[in-house]
Chain A
Protein backbone atom coordinates (compact mmCIF):
# COMPACT_ATOMS: atom_id res chain seq x y z
CA UNK A 1 0.00 0.00 0.00
CA UNK A 2 1.23 3.48 -0.80
CA UNK A 3 0.41 6.54 1.29
CA UNK A 4 -0.84 9.89 0.09
CA UNK A 5 -0.58 12.23 3.08
CA UNK A 6 -2.23 15.64 3.39
CA UNK A 7 -1.21 18.01 6.20
CA UNK A 8 -3.93 20.47 7.21
CA UNK A 9 -7.66 19.99 6.63
CA UNK A 10 -8.58 23.59 5.87
CA UNK A 11 -9.71 24.94 2.52
CA UNK A 12 -6.85 23.53 0.43
CA UNK A 13 -6.33 20.17 2.15
CA UNK A 14 -10.04 19.34 2.21
CA UNK A 15 -10.37 20.06 -1.52
CA UNK A 16 -7.34 17.89 -2.32
CA UNK A 17 -8.75 14.98 -0.27
CA UNK A 18 -12.07 15.23 -2.11
CA UNK A 19 -10.42 15.26 -5.52
CA UNK A 20 -7.86 12.57 -4.79
CA UNK A 21 -10.39 9.90 -3.72
CA UNK A 22 -11.64 9.92 -7.28
CA UNK A 23 -8.18 9.68 -8.78
CA UNK A 24 -6.34 7.07 -6.71
CA UNK A 25 -7.05 3.35 -6.74
CA UNK A 26 -8.11 2.36 -3.18
CA UNK A 27 -6.46 -1.07 -3.64
CA UNK A 28 -3.16 0.68 -4.12
CA UNK A 29 -3.35 3.93 -2.16
CA UNK A 30 -4.26 5.00 1.34
CA UNK A 31 -5.16 8.67 1.77
CA UNK A 32 -4.59 10.24 5.20
CA UNK A 33 -5.35 13.83 6.22
CA UNK A 34 -4.21 15.38 9.52
CA UNK A 35 -5.40 18.50 11.33
CA UNK A 36 -5.16 19.71 14.90
CA UNK A 37 -8.78 20.90 15.13
CA UNK A 38 -12.27 19.34 14.85
CA UNK A 39 -13.89 22.51 13.54
CA UNK A 40 -13.65 23.94 10.05
CA UNK A 41 -14.11 27.70 10.03
CA UNK A 42 -15.32 29.63 7.03
CA UNK A 43 -12.66 32.30 7.51
CA UNK A 44 -14.11 34.87 5.06
CA UNK A 45 -17.09 34.98 7.45
CA UNK A 46 -14.88 36.29 10.30
CA UNK A 47 -15.10 39.72 8.66
CA UNK A 48 -18.83 39.94 9.35
CA UNK A 49 -18.76 38.83 13.00
CA UNK A 50 -17.59 42.13 14.56
CA UNK A 51 -20.59 43.88 12.99
CA UNK A 52 -23.09 41.26 14.12
CA UNK A 53 -23.93 40.17 10.55
CA UNK A 54 -22.76 36.60 11.25
CA UNK A 55 -22.25 34.92 14.60
CA UNK A 56 -19.60 32.27 15.30
CA UNK A 57 -22.05 29.40 14.73
CA UNK A 58 -22.72 30.70 11.20
CA UNK A 59 -19.13 30.07 10.15
CA UNK A 60 -18.34 26.81 11.98
CA UNK A 61 -18.89 23.22 10.87
CA UNK A 62 -17.33 19.83 11.60
CA UNK A 63 -14.27 19.08 9.46
CA UNK A 64 -15.23 15.40 9.39
CA UNK A 65 -18.39 16.20 7.42
CA UNK A 66 -16.32 17.49 4.50
CA UNK A 67 -13.79 14.67 4.34
CA UNK A 68 -14.76 11.63 2.26
CA UNK A 69 -15.34 8.47 4.35
CA UNK A 70 -12.61 6.56 2.48
CA UNK A 71 -10.00 9.02 3.77
CA UNK A 72 -8.48 8.50 7.21
CA UNK A 73 -8.87 11.72 9.22
CA UNK A 74 -6.41 12.06 12.10
CA UNK A 75 -6.87 14.81 14.66
CA UNK A 76 -3.47 15.66 16.03
CA UNK A 77 -0.88 18.37 16.13
CA UNK A 78 1.77 17.74 13.49
CA UNK A 79 5.14 17.72 15.24
CA UNK A 80 7.62 17.68 12.42
CA UNK A 81 8.08 16.80 8.76
CA UNK A 82 11.24 14.86 7.89
CA UNK A 83 11.29 15.29 4.12
CA UNK A 84 14.57 13.46 3.54
CA UNK A 85 13.10 10.38 5.24
CA UNK A 86 9.63 10.80 3.67
CA UNK A 87 8.00 10.77 7.07
CA UNK A 88 5.93 12.92 9.40
CA UNK A 89 5.73 12.74 13.18
CA UNK A 90 2.45 13.49 14.94
CA UNK A 91 1.96 14.56 18.56
CA UNK A 92 -0.85 12.09 19.17
CA UNK A 93 0.51 8.74 20.36
CA UNK A 94 3.85 9.69 18.82
CA UNK A 95 2.55 8.28 15.56
CA UNK A 96 4.92 8.25 12.59
CA UNK A 97 3.49 8.27 9.08
CA UNK A 98 5.66 7.28 6.15
CA UNK A 99 4.44 8.80 2.92
CA UNK A 100 4.98 8.41 -0.80
CA UNK A 101 3.43 11.77 -1.64
CA UNK A 102 2.93 14.72 0.69
CA UNK A 103 0.64 17.73 0.22
CA UNK A 104 1.30 20.63 2.58
CA UNK A 105 -1.80 22.70 3.26
CA UNK A 106 -1.11 24.01 6.75
CA UNK A 107 -2.11 27.58 5.87
CA UNK A 108 -0.96 30.62 7.82
CA UNK A 109 -2.06 32.42 10.95
CA UNK A 110 -1.59 35.67 12.80
CA UNK A 111 1.25 36.46 15.19
CA UNK A 112 0.39 39.64 17.09
CA UNK A 113 3.29 38.96 19.49
CA UNK A 114 5.66 39.85 16.62
CA UNK A 115 4.86 43.52 17.27
CA UNK A 116 6.34 44.94 20.46
CA UNK A 117 3.69 45.81 23.05
CA UNK A 118 0.75 44.44 21.05
CA UNK A 119 -0.13 41.48 23.27
CA UNK A 120 2.06 42.05 26.31
CA UNK A 121 1.36 45.78 26.74
CA UNK A 122 -1.96 45.40 28.56
CA UNK A 123 -4.48 46.43 25.89
CA UNK A 124 -4.99 43.12 24.10
CA UNK A 125 -8.71 42.37 23.80
CA UNK A 126 -9.39 45.47 25.97
CA UNK A 127 -9.21 48.06 23.21
CA UNK A 128 -6.89 46.15 20.83
CA UNK A 129 -8.48 43.42 18.71
CA UNK A 130 -7.91 41.29 15.64
CA UNK A 131 -10.61 39.87 13.38
CA UNK A 132 -8.52 37.13 11.75
CA UNK A 133 -9.43 34.61 14.46
CA UNK A 134 -12.91 33.60 15.55
CA UNK A 135 -12.12 34.58 19.14
CA UNK A 136 -10.84 37.99 18.09
CA UNK A 137 -13.81 38.68 15.84
CA UNK A 138 -16.28 37.69 18.58
CA UNK A 139 -14.48 39.79 21.21
CA UNK A 140 -14.51 42.80 18.89
CA UNK A 141 -18.25 42.33 18.35
CA UNK A 142 -18.82 42.56 22.11
CA UNK A 143 -16.68 45.69 22.28
CA UNK A 144 -18.34 47.46 19.34
CA UNK A 145 -21.86 46.88 20.66
CA UNK A 146 -21.22 49.23 23.55
CA UNK A 147 -18.69 51.59 22.01
CA UNK A 148 -19.74 55.21 22.03
CA UNK A 149 -17.24 56.35 19.44
CA UNK A 150 -13.75 57.77 19.20
CA UNK A 151 -10.77 57.10 17.00
CA UNK A 152 -10.70 53.69 15.32
CA UNK A 153 -7.33 52.82 13.82
CA UNK A 154 -7.03 49.78 11.58
CA UNK A 155 -3.42 48.75 11.13
CA UNK A 156 -1.81 46.14 8.90
CA UNK A 157 1.48 45.14 10.49
CA UNK A 158 3.36 43.64 7.57
CA UNK A 159 2.79 42.09 4.15
CA UNK A 160 1.93 39.49 2.99
CA UNK A 161 -1.36 38.90 4.80
CA UNK A 162 -4.03 36.43 3.84
CA UNK A 163 -6.95 37.97 2.00
CA UNK A 164 -5.26 41.33 1.34
CA UNK A 165 -8.65 42.96 0.66
CA UNK A 166 -10.06 42.07 4.10
CA UNK A 167 -8.72 45.25 5.79
CA UNK A 168 -10.49 47.42 3.21
CA UNK A 169 -13.69 45.47 3.64
CA UNK A 170 -13.42 45.96 7.39
CA UNK A 171 -13.13 49.73 6.89
CA UNK A 172 -16.08 49.91 4.51
CA UNK A 173 -18.24 47.82 6.84
CA UNK A 174 -17.19 49.92 9.84
CA UNK A 175 -18.32 53.06 7.99
CA UNK A 176 -21.67 51.39 7.28
CA UNK A 177 -22.03 49.98 10.81
CA UNK A 178 -21.45 53.28 12.60
CA UNK A 179 -23.78 55.04 10.15
CA UNK A 180 -26.53 52.51 10.95
CA UNK A 181 -26.00 53.05 14.64
CA UNK A 182 -26.24 56.81 14.18
CA UNK A 183 -22.76 57.50 15.58
CA UNK A 184 -20.72 57.85 12.38
CA UNK A 185 -20.06 61.52 13.25
CA UNK A 186 -18.53 60.41 16.55
CA UNK A 187 -16.12 57.92 14.98
CA UNK A 188 -12.95 58.85 13.19
CA UNK A 189 -11.70 55.98 11.00
CA UNK A 190 -7.98 55.77 10.17
CA UNK A 191 -6.25 53.16 7.99
CA UNK A 192 -2.51 52.81 8.66
CA UNK A 193 -0.86 50.48 6.14
CA UNK A 194 2.73 49.61 5.16
CA UNK A 195 1.64 49.76 1.51
CA UNK A 196 2.18 52.96 -0.50
CA UNK A 197 -1.61 53.19 -1.10
CA UNK A 198 -4.96 51.52 -0.46
CA UNK A 199 -4.06 48.24 -2.20
CA UNK A 200 -1.14 46.30 -3.64
CA UNK A 201 -1.91 46.80 -7.35
CA UNK A 202 -1.87 50.32 -8.90
CA UNK A 203 -5.23 50.50 -10.80
CA UNK A 204 -7.23 48.93 -7.98
CA UNK A 205 -5.30 50.98 -5.45
CA UNK A 206 -6.34 54.28 -6.97
CA UNK A 207 -10.01 53.27 -7.33
CA UNK A 208 -10.14 51.88 -3.77
CA UNK A 209 -8.23 54.91 -2.48
CA UNK A 210 -10.93 57.19 -3.92
CA UNK A 211 -13.56 55.09 -2.20
CA UNK A 212 -11.85 55.50 1.16
CA UNK A 213 -11.81 59.23 0.64
CA UNK A 214 -15.50 59.39 -0.31
CA UNK A 215 -16.37 57.46 2.83
CA UNK A 216 -14.32 59.80 5.00
CA UNK A 217 -11.68 57.22 5.94
CA UNK A 218 -8.17 58.64 6.44
CA UNK A 219 -5.36 56.73 4.80
CA UNK A 220 -1.87 56.75 6.36
CA UNK A 221 0.35 55.01 3.79
CA UNK A 222 3.93 53.70 4.22
CA UNK A 223 3.29 53.13 7.92
CA UNK A 224 5.44 50.24 9.19
CA UNK A 225 4.42 49.56 12.76
CA UNK A 226 7.32 49.14 15.19
CA UNK A 227 5.54 49.12 18.54
CA UNK A 228 2.32 49.63 20.46
CA UNK A 229 2.20 51.75 23.60
CA UNK A 230 -0.95 50.33 25.14
CA UNK A 231 -0.69 52.58 28.20
CA UNK A 232 -0.73 55.74 26.10
CA UNK A 233 -2.97 54.27 23.33
CA UNK A 234 -0.45 55.02 20.59
CA UNK A 235 1.18 53.06 17.81
CA UNK A 236 4.56 54.09 16.46
CA UNK A 237 6.20 53.25 13.16
CA UNK A 238 9.86 52.30 12.74
CA UNK A 239 10.53 55.79 11.47
CA UNK A 240 8.86 57.22 14.56
CA UNK A 241 5.54 58.49 13.26
CA UNK A 242 2.91 58.13 15.99
CA UNK A 243 -0.83 57.55 15.71
CA UNK A 244 -3.23 57.81 18.66
CA UNK A 245 -6.15 55.43 18.93
CA UNK A 246 -9.12 54.73 21.13
CA UNK A 247 -9.74 51.40 19.44
CA UNK A 248 -6.96 49.57 17.62
CA UNK A 249 -7.90 46.82 15.18
CA UNK A 250 -4.81 45.00 14.00
CA UNK A 251 -4.08 42.66 11.14
CA UNK A 252 -0.91 41.24 12.68
CA UNK A 253 2.05 39.60 10.95
CA UNK A 254 0.93 36.43 9.13
CA UNK A 255 3.22 33.43 9.28
CA UNK A 256 3.14 29.87 8.06
CA UNK A 257 2.54 27.04 10.53
CA UNK A 258 4.97 26.32 13.36
CA UNK A 259 5.53 22.84 11.96
CA UNK A 260 7.17 24.39 8.90
CA UNK A 261 9.60 26.21 11.16
CA UNK A 262 10.28 23.12 13.29
CA UNK A 263 10.96 21.19 10.11
CA UNK A 264 13.21 23.97 8.79
CA UNK A 265 11.33 23.94 5.51
CA UNK A 266 10.24 27.58 5.30
CA UNK A 267 11.47 31.09 4.57
CA UNK A 268 11.70 33.92 7.12
CA UNK A 269 7.93 33.88 7.59
CA UNK A 270 7.67 30.06 7.56
CA UNK A 271 6.24 29.93 4.05
CA UNK A 272 7.34 26.89 2.05
CA UNK A 273 9.29 27.67 -1.14
CA UNK A 274 7.27 26.31 -4.03
CA UNK A 275 7.43 26.55 -7.81
CA UNK A 276 4.91 29.31 -8.49
CA UNK A 277 3.66 27.72 -11.72
CA UNK A 278 3.71 23.98 -10.92
CA UNK A 279 3.12 24.07 -7.11
CA UNK A 280 5.82 21.46 -6.55
CA UNK A 281 8.28 21.99 -3.70
CA UNK A 282 11.53 23.55 -4.86
CA UNK A 283 13.49 20.94 -2.94
CA UNK A 284 11.56 17.65 -2.74
CA UNK A 285 9.83 16.29 -5.80
CA UNK A 286 7.20 14.29 -3.89
CA UNK A 287 6.13 17.33 -1.86
CA UNK A 288 3.43 19.71 -3.15
CA UNK A 289 2.05 22.85 -1.60
CA UNK A 290 -1.44 24.36 -1.91
CA UNK A 291 -2.95 27.52 -0.43
CA UNK A 292 -1.55 29.93 2.11
CA UNK A 293 1.30 27.64 3.24
CA UNK A 294 3.42 28.30 0.13
CA UNK A 295 5.47 31.32 -0.93
CA UNK A 296 3.95 31.80 -4.41
CA UNK A 297 3.68 35.56 -4.93
CA UNK A 298 -0.09 35.70 -5.34
CA UNK A 299 -2.86 36.57 -2.88
CA UNK A 300 -3.37 34.19 0.00
CA UNK A 301 -7.06 33.47 -0.48
CA UNK A 302 -9.52 30.60 -0.62
CA UNK A 303 -10.33 31.48 -4.21
CA UNK A 304 -6.64 31.17 -5.07
CA UNK A 305 -6.39 27.77 -3.35
CA UNK A 306 -9.33 26.74 -5.51
CA UNK A 307 -7.60 27.91 -8.71
CA UNK A 308 -4.50 25.98 -7.61
CA UNK A 309 -6.49 22.78 -7.13
CA UNK A 310 -6.81 21.53 -10.71
CA UNK A 311 -3.17 22.35 -11.45
CA UNK A 312 -1.78 20.59 -8.38
CA UNK A 313 -3.92 17.46 -8.90
CA UNK A 314 -2.96 17.20 -12.57
CA UNK A 315 0.71 17.70 -11.80
CA UNK A 316 0.76 15.12 -9.00
CA UNK A 317 -0.92 12.58 -11.28
CA UNK A 318 1.58 13.38 -14.04
CA UNK A 319 4.43 12.95 -11.60
CA UNK A 320 3.07 9.54 -10.58
CA UNK A 321 3.26 8.58 -14.25
CA UNK A 322 6.83 9.82 -14.55
CA UNK A 323 5.89 12.94 -16.52
CA UNK A 324 7.07 16.50 -15.90
CA UNK A 325 4.71 18.87 -14.12
CA UNK A 326 3.10 21.55 -16.28
CA UNK A 327 3.63 25.23 -15.39
CA UNK A 328 -0.09 26.00 -15.52
CA UNK A 329 -0.79 28.05 -12.42
CA UNK A 330 -0.89 31.74 -13.37
CA UNK A 331 -1.47 33.28 -9.93
CA UNK A 332 -5.18 33.74 -10.63
CA UNK A 333 -7.01 35.49 -7.77
CA UNK A 334 -10.61 36.58 -7.64
CA UNK A 335 -11.90 38.55 -4.67
CA UNK A 336 -15.24 40.02 -3.73
CA UNK A 337 -14.74 43.18 -1.72
CA UNK A 338 -17.67 43.95 0.55
CA UNK A 339 -18.06 47.73 0.46
CA UNK A 340 -20.96 48.30 2.88
CA UNK A 341 -24.58 49.38 2.34
CA UNK A 342 -25.24 46.07 0.53
CA UNK A 343 -22.79 46.75 -2.22
CA UNK A 344 -19.60 45.09 -3.28
CA UNK A 345 -16.70 45.24 -5.71
CA UNK A 346 -15.07 42.33 -7.53
CA UNK A 347 -11.45 42.10 -8.64
CA UNK A 348 -9.83 39.45 -10.83
CA UNK A 349 -6.07 39.32 -11.45
CA UNK A 350 -2.99 37.10 -11.78
CA UNK A 351 0.83 37.21 -11.63
CA UNK A 352 1.08 39.42 -14.70
CA UNK A 353 -2.17 41.32 -15.06
CA UNK A 354 -3.41 43.72 -12.41
CA UNK A 355 -7.15 44.05 -11.62
CA UNK A 356 -9.01 45.72 -14.49
CA UNK A 357 -12.57 46.97 -14.94
CA UNK A 358 -15.04 44.85 -16.96
CA UNK A 359 -17.62 42.07 -16.44
CA UNK A 360 -17.24 38.60 -14.87
CA UNK A 361 -17.44 35.66 -15.46
CA UNK A 362 -19.27 36.16 -18.76
CA UNK A 363 -17.62 38.84 -20.94
CA UNK A 364 -19.97 41.80 -21.37
CA UNK A 365 -22.75 40.17 -19.34
CA UNK A 366 -21.44 39.59 -15.87
CA UNK A 367 -23.55 39.38 -13.77
CA UNK A 368 -20.67 40.71 -11.72
CA UNK A 369 -18.90 44.01 -12.44
CA UNK A 370 -15.16 44.26 -11.97
CA UNK A 371 -13.76 47.20 -10.01
CA UNK A 372 -17.20 48.77 -9.66
CA UNK A 373 -19.51 49.00 -6.68
CA UNK A 374 -22.74 47.06 -7.32
CA UNK A 375 -25.44 45.22 -5.39
CA UNK A 376 -24.85 42.04 -7.45
CA UNK A 377 -21.26 41.90 -6.21
CA UNK A 378 -22.51 42.09 -2.62
CA UNK A 379 -24.89 39.19 -3.19
CA UNK A 380 -22.03 37.29 -4.83
CA UNK A 381 -20.02 37.73 -1.65
CA UNK A 382 -22.90 36.60 0.55
CA UNK A 383 -23.56 33.58 -1.70
CA UNK A 384 -19.91 32.61 -1.44
CA UNK A 385 -20.50 31.09 2.01
CA UNK A 386 -23.01 28.62 0.56
CA UNK A 387 -20.75 27.91 -2.41
CA UNK A 388 -17.81 27.37 -0.04
CA UNK A 389 -19.52 24.69 2.05
CA UNK A 390 -21.48 23.03 -0.73
CA UNK A 391 -19.29 23.19 -3.83
CA UNK A 392 -15.80 24.53 -3.22
CA UNK A 393 -14.67 22.28 -0.33
CA UNK A 394 -15.97 19.22 -2.14
CA UNK A 395 -13.75 20.08 -5.08
CA UNK A 396 -16.81 20.70 -7.28
CA UNK A 397 -16.84 22.59 -10.53
CA UNK A 398 -17.17 26.36 -10.39
CA UNK A 399 -18.56 28.29 -13.35
CA UNK A 400 -15.15 29.60 -14.38
CA UNK A 401 -11.69 28.42 -15.38
CA UNK A 402 -8.58 28.16 -13.19
CA UNK A 403 -6.58 30.29 -15.62
CA UNK A 404 -7.49 33.93 -15.84
CA UNK A 405 -9.28 35.17 -18.95
CA UNK A 406 -8.86 38.63 -20.47
CA UNK A 407 -12.27 38.48 -22.20
CA UNK A 408 -14.67 41.17 -21.07
CA UNK A 409 -11.98 43.31 -19.46
CA UNK A 410 -10.99 46.83 -20.38
CA UNK A 411 -7.22 46.90 -20.44
Chain B
Protein backbone atom coordinates (compact mmCIF):
# COMPACT_ATOMS: atom_id res chain seq x y z
CA UNK B 1 0.00 0.00 0.00
CA UNK B 2 1.30 3.43 -0.84
CA UNK B 3 1.92 5.93 1.93
CA UNK B 4 -0.29 8.43 0.15
CA UNK B 5 -3.45 6.42 0.71
CA UNK B 6 -3.39 6.96 4.45
CA UNK B 7 -2.95 10.74 4.20
CA UNK B 8 -5.81 13.19 4.35
CA UNK B 9 -6.17 15.23 1.17
CA UNK B 10 -8.79 17.68 -0.14
CA UNK B 11 -10.87 17.10 -3.27
CA UNK B 12 -8.23 18.70 -5.47
CA UNK B 13 -5.49 16.50 -4.04
CA UNK B 14 -3.74 19.02 -1.78
CA UNK B 15 -2.59 17.75 1.62
CA UNK B 16 -4.90 18.89 4.39
CA UNK B 17 -2.04 19.00 6.92
CA UNK B 18 1.28 20.30 5.52
CA UNK B 19 3.00 18.61 8.48
CA UNK B 20 2.13 15.19 7.01
CA UNK B 21 4.52 15.86 4.14
CA UNK B 22 7.58 13.65 3.57
CA UNK B 23 9.94 13.29 0.62
CA UNK B 24 8.42 9.91 -0.16
CA UNK B 25 4.96 11.45 -0.38
CA UNK B 26 6.33 14.13 -2.68
CA UNK B 27 7.60 11.45 -5.06
CA UNK B 28 4.18 9.76 -5.09
CA UNK B 29 2.23 12.97 -5.63
CA UNK B 30 4.64 13.93 -8.40
CA UNK B 31 3.87 10.62 -10.11
CA UNK B 32 0.16 11.36 -9.96
CA UNK B 33 0.95 14.69 -11.61
CA UNK B 34 2.80 12.93 -14.41
CA UNK B 35 6.37 13.53 -13.21
CA UNK B 36 8.10 10.17 -13.17
CA UNK B 37 11.25 11.33 -11.52
CA UNK B 38 12.22 14.26 -9.32
CA UNK B 39 15.63 15.62 -10.30
CA UNK B 40 17.89 17.84 -8.24
CA UNK B 41 16.37 20.85 -10.02
CA UNK B 42 12.88 19.75 -8.91
CA UNK B 43 14.03 19.36 -5.32
CA UNK B 44 15.57 22.82 -5.30
CA UNK B 45 12.17 24.30 -6.18
CA UNK B 46 10.31 22.09 -3.70
CA UNK B 47 12.65 23.02 -0.88
CA UNK B 48 12.33 26.67 -1.73
CA UNK B 49 8.52 26.36 -1.68
CA UNK B 50 8.52 24.63 1.71
CA UNK B 51 10.85 27.24 3.23
CA UNK B 52 8.88 30.10 1.70
CA UNK B 53 5.59 28.75 3.03
CA UNK B 54 7.07 28.36 6.47
CA UNK B 55 8.02 32.03 6.66
CA UNK B 56 5.03 33.52 4.81
CA UNK B 57 2.29 31.03 5.67
CA UNK B 58 1.26 30.73 2.01
CA UNK B 59 2.27 28.81 -1.10
CA UNK B 60 4.64 30.81 -3.30
CA UNK B 61 3.37 32.36 -6.51
CA UNK B 62 5.04 31.71 -9.85
CA UNK B 63 7.06 34.91 -9.53
CA UNK B 64 8.14 34.14 -5.99
CA UNK B 65 9.46 30.80 -7.20
CA UNK B 66 11.33 32.16 -10.21
CA UNK B 67 12.79 35.10 -8.26
CA UNK B 68 13.33 33.26 -4.99
CA UNK B 69 14.64 29.90 -6.21
CA UNK B 70 16.48 31.52 -9.12
CA UNK B 71 14.84 29.34 -11.77
CA UNK B 72 13.95 31.01 -15.09
CA UNK B 73 10.22 30.79 -15.89
CA UNK B 74 10.81 28.73 -19.00
CA UNK B 75 12.83 26.24 -17.00
CA UNK B 76 10.14 26.06 -14.34
CA UNK B 77 7.54 25.17 -16.98
CA UNK B 78 9.84 22.40 -18.23
CA UNK B 79 10.22 21.02 -14.72
CA UNK B 80 6.55 21.32 -13.78
CA UNK B 81 4.57 21.51 -17.04
CA UNK B 82 1.21 23.36 -17.33
CA UNK B 83 0.47 25.08 -14.01
CA UNK B 84 3.82 25.14 -12.16
CA UNK B 85 2.70 27.18 -9.13
CA UNK B 86 -0.16 24.77 -8.46
CA UNK B 87 1.93 21.66 -9.12
CA UNK B 88 4.79 22.84 -6.94
CA UNK B 89 2.37 23.60 -4.10
CA UNK B 90 0.73 20.19 -4.38
CA UNK B 91 3.97 18.22 -4.52
CA UNK B 92 5.41 20.30 -1.67
CA UNK B 93 2.40 19.44 0.50
CA UNK B 94 1.17 23.03 0.68
CA UNK B 95 -2.24 24.61 0.08
CA UNK B 96 -3.49 25.86 -3.27
CA UNK B 97 -1.74 29.14 -4.16
CA UNK B 98 -3.91 32.13 -3.22
CA UNK B 99 -2.84 34.22 -6.24
CA UNK B 100 -6.00 33.46 -8.19
CA UNK B 101 -8.71 35.85 -7.07
Q: Which residues of A are in contact with B by a Cβ distance under 8 Å?
A: 158-160, 164, 194-196, 200, 222, 224, 226, 238-239, 267-269, 297-299
Contact = CB atoms under 8 A, between A and B. Distances in A.
A239 B82 contact: yes
Contact of A239 (B62, B81, B98, B101): B81
Interface string B13-44: 00000000000000000000000000000000
A268 B77 contact: no
B73 A238 contact: yes
Given A226-B73, A239-B81, A268 B99 contact: no
A269 B63 contact: yes
A239 B75 CA distance: 10
B101 A200 contact: yes
A268 B81 contact: no
B51 to A, nearest CB: 15
Interface in B48-101: 61-64, 67-68, 73-74, 76-78, 81-83, 98-101
Nearest to B62: A158
Nearest to B82: A222
Contacts, number: 42
A100 to B, nearest CB: 29
- Minimum-distance CB pairs A-B, first 10: A238-B77, A268-B63, A297-B98, A200-B100, A239-B77, A297-B101, A268-B67, A268-B64, A159-B100, A222-B82
Interface residues of B, number: 18
Interface of B: 61-64, 67-68, 73-74, 76-78, 81-83, 98-101
B64 A160 contact: no
Contact of A160 (B78, B81, B82, B100): B100
Contacts of B73: 226, 238
Contacts of B81: 239
Contacts of A196: 83
A164 B83 contact: no
Nearest to B74: A238
Contacts of A195: 100
Contacts of A200: 100-101
Contacts of B83: 194, 196, 222
A215 to B, nearest CB: 23
Contacts of B63: 158, 268-269
Nearest to B60: A268
A239 B82 CA distance: 7
Given A159-B100, A160-B100, A268-B67, A226 B74 contact: yes
Choose among A164, A224, A226, A298 the residue with the greatest number of B CB atoms under 10 Å from its CB.
A224
Nearest to A164: B101
A267 B98 CA distance: 14
A159 B100 CA distance: 6
Contacts of A164: 101
Contacts of B64: 267-268
A114 to B, nearest CB: 10
Contacts of A158: 62-63
Contacts of A239: 77-78, 81-82
Given A239-B82, A267-B64, A224 B77 contact: yes
Contacts of B61: 268-269
Contacts of A224: 62, 77
A196 B62 CA distance: 15
A224 B73 CA distance: 10
A226 B62 CA distance: 13
Contacts of A269: 61, 63
A170 B79 CA distance: 34
B80 to A, nearest CB: 10
B59 to A, nearest CB: 11
A293 B67 CA distance: 20
Nearest to B81: A239
10 contacts: A158-B62, A158-B63, A159-B99, A160-B99, A194-B83, A239-B81, A239-B82, A268-B61, A269-B63, A298-B101
A160 B98 CA distance: 10
A8 B81 CA distance: 40
A198 to B, nearest CB: 12
A159 B96 CA distance: 14
B22 to A, nearest CB: 28
